[in-house]
Amino acid sequence: MKRLLRQKSNFVILEGFLSVLLKDDIQIEQILESESNQESQEDKFNRVDILAQNTKKELIIIEIQNSKELDYFQRMLYGTTKVTTEYLNLGEPYRKIKKVYSVNIIYFDLGQGKDYVYHGKTEFIGIHEGDKLTLSEKQKQLFDKSEVFQIFPEYYVLKINNFNDVAKDSLDEWVYYLKNNEVPQGAQAKGLKEVQEHLQLYSLNKADQGAYYRHIDNNRLAISVLETARIEGEAAGIERGLQQGIQQGIQQGIEQGKKEQALETARKLKQIGSLTSEQIAQITGLTIEEVEGF
């Protein structure tokens, strides 16, 4: 599962999962370093399974946890806090803090709750008036955000074992895969088609996998040979065209030079005045109209 989600050559699977979960068109820009450096010997490592950055420069932490941890909530908090501070450069204003999403795929009973997908975000509600604290118009323009919670980290907890294996929507289809390591029949969720293709490949024995990869390599080689031939053919054609153009240009230059010389000769003969236009045309090779045009 981790191998599928963190493929750097093609982010389509990770993008599909996050787009369905976050209900947004997520495009991954890069997978970042997944183990932060310690600031001191006593500091904790911030180990995460996947740390990605999307095209909006937002950070997405993805944790896949099998063994039970009573303090996992604190681990989630530590992870987002650590990433938030590490990706704010020294001297940058607070408004440059990156948005962080914490996506936690959990295979143990975390806390108490019957649902299988939980979403947590930060909102400020008035104690006396009950109103929600919102951004001013100037803040909306400055931060390019419409709500206060969009500034703070957001948390998603997927309690996989709580899922009843009945996929009713795209997110359920993804949870079904995360629980059963297989794609439900007729799944349409973004990214699951590519998951199915990879699962089919992983199910092959080593000999068949080797044959498949050799087939892919042979196809790449064939494409490379054809592409090279096309490029070299185009280059040769351009070179021939240039040579022909040069020759044509030289010939046109010679012809133009001859024409200009004939016109100059005709001009001088006409100034002398002893010859008719017909005679000058016969001597220079010009037409009578060209001669009489002076």
The residues spanned by each domain of the chain are 2-203, 216-291
Per DSSP, 223 falls in state H
pLDDT-based confidence at residue 252 (cuts at 50, 70, 90): confident
Supply φ then ψ for residue 168, to 5 degrees: -100, -20
Per DSSP, 162 falls in state G
Does 139 score more than 70 pLDDT?
yes
Q: For the residues 142-165, what does the mean pLDDT come to?
A: 95
Predicted TM-score (pTM) of the model is 0.67
3-state SS class at 236: helix
At 11-39, the pLDDT tens digits run: 888 999 999 999 999 999 888 865 444 44
DSSP assignments along 55-83, one per residue: TTS-EEEEEEE-S--TTHHHHHHHHHHHH
Model pLDDT, residue 117 = 96
> What contacts 146, CB < 8 A, 6 or more positions away?
135, 140
Could you tell me the CA-to-CA distances from 270 to 267, 273, 277, 280 in Å, in that order? 5, 5, 8, 8
At 230-240, the pLDDT tens digits run: 676 667 777 77
Rounded CA separation 139/154 (Å): 20
Candidate from 117-121, 172-176, 202-206, 240-244 with smallest mean pLDDT: 202-206
At 170-190, the pLDDT tens digits run: 999 999 999 998 999 899 999
Closest CA to 69 of 157, 154, 3: 157
